[in-house]
Amino acid sequence: MTLQQALRRHSLPRLEARMLLQHVRPGLTHARLIADPDLLLSEEETELFEQLALRRLQGEPMAYLLGEREFYGRNFRVSPAVLIPRPETEHLVEAALARLGQLPAQVVDLGCGSGAIAITLALEAPAWQLQAVDLSPAALEVARDNAEQLGAAVHFHQGSWYQPLDGQGSFDLIVSNPPYIEQHDHHLAEGDVRFEPRMALTDEHDGLLCLREIIAGAPARLKAGGWLMLEHGFDQGDAVRQLLLAAGLQQVATLPDLAGLDRVSMGQLAG
Ligand code: GLN
């Protein structure tokens, strides 16, 4: 099959067909695709392209088909064991870097998934010492691989939230993007989300279960003056601020995402 035939063969958006072709033939530039439409794919390339195109037509996320997604300017390996990194989560990274600056800090990411947050923080703030926790061994394998590929020093632990951190001292910053979707939310059955690990998306409850647990446990693990920063759903800002205040944290605030929706909330332990 030629490039042009491949591009036209399925009812895929052209951009997606092009990305799949570039995945099937690494090094194929956009310019070459346009300049050389009659370039012939090998039989294996054709077959792989066909398989990927059909999976895409069944709804599988592009990030899983390509095996990677960009986050904060870097490529992270992803698999169906991890949530696909979202642009909204870049706000959490920005907020953390803005609050703490480049001084040495002990930092932990709870529920790290692909490792996007912890690895980005480790690379953007080289003086910080990063730890990261996830319940899923399969997710940790992806995260460890990403840390190695990107050259980030992150210590990973398997377990639930704070449990594997006992004896690890206290933190200047705790960050988390926990599962916060309510169990019956229709989004769980739509689009890319259908293919993502359910345990990374929903608490199988009201959406606040993990946020509550993380917030309640934070004061005992934060240093004086330390911050807790959390991503949450667009309609959870009020509830999360109330939980942060109830835990005795100060400077409680919420930052909007690019769509202007409540997305990241934070609080500080009195210093
Ligand atoms: N932001 C994701 C979504 O809306 C949810 C991520 C999460 O639950 N932490 O699909």
Predicted confidence at residue 217, as pLDDT, reads 97
Cβ of 223 less than 6 Å from ligand 1: no
Helices vs. strands in the chain: H and E counts, helices first = 11, 9
Predicted confidence at residue 55, as pLDDT, reads 97
Q: Which residue stretches of the chain have pLDDT < 70?
A: none
Domain residue spans of the chain: 3-58, 81-268
Terminal alpha carbon distance of the chain: 66
Predicted confidence at residue 48, as pLDDT, reads 97
For the domain covering 81-268, report its CATH number.
Answer: 3.40.50.150
Q: Taking a C-beta distance cutoff of 8 angstroms, is the pair 188, 181 a contact?
A: yes
Q: Note the pLDDT tens digit of each residue in 197-224.
A: 999 999 999 999 999 999 999 999 999 9
Quick count: other Cβ atoms within 10 Å of Cβ 57? 12
Q: Could you give the CA distance from residue 85 to residue 18 in angstroms, rounded to a whole number?
A: 22
Q: Could you give the CA distance from residue 211 to residue 202 in angstroms, rounded to a whole number?
A: 11
* DSSP 8-state secondary structure symbol assigned to residue 192: G
Binding site annotation covers 161? yes
Predicted confidence at residue 271, as pLDDT, reads 83
Q: Note the pLDDT tens digit of each residue in 61-86.
A: 999 999 999 999 999 999 999 999 99
Cβ of 92 less than 6 Å from ligand 1: no
Predicted confidence at residue 10, as pLDDT, reads 86
Structure tokens at 116: 């996007």
Atom of ligand 1 nearest to the CA of 192: 10
* Secondary structure percentages of the chain, helix, strand, coil, to 5: 45, 20, 35
Which residues in the chain belong to E strands, given as ranges?
68-71, 74-77, 105-110, 128-134, 154-158, 171-176, 222-231, 250-256, 262-268
Q: Is the pTM of this model over 0.85?
A: yes
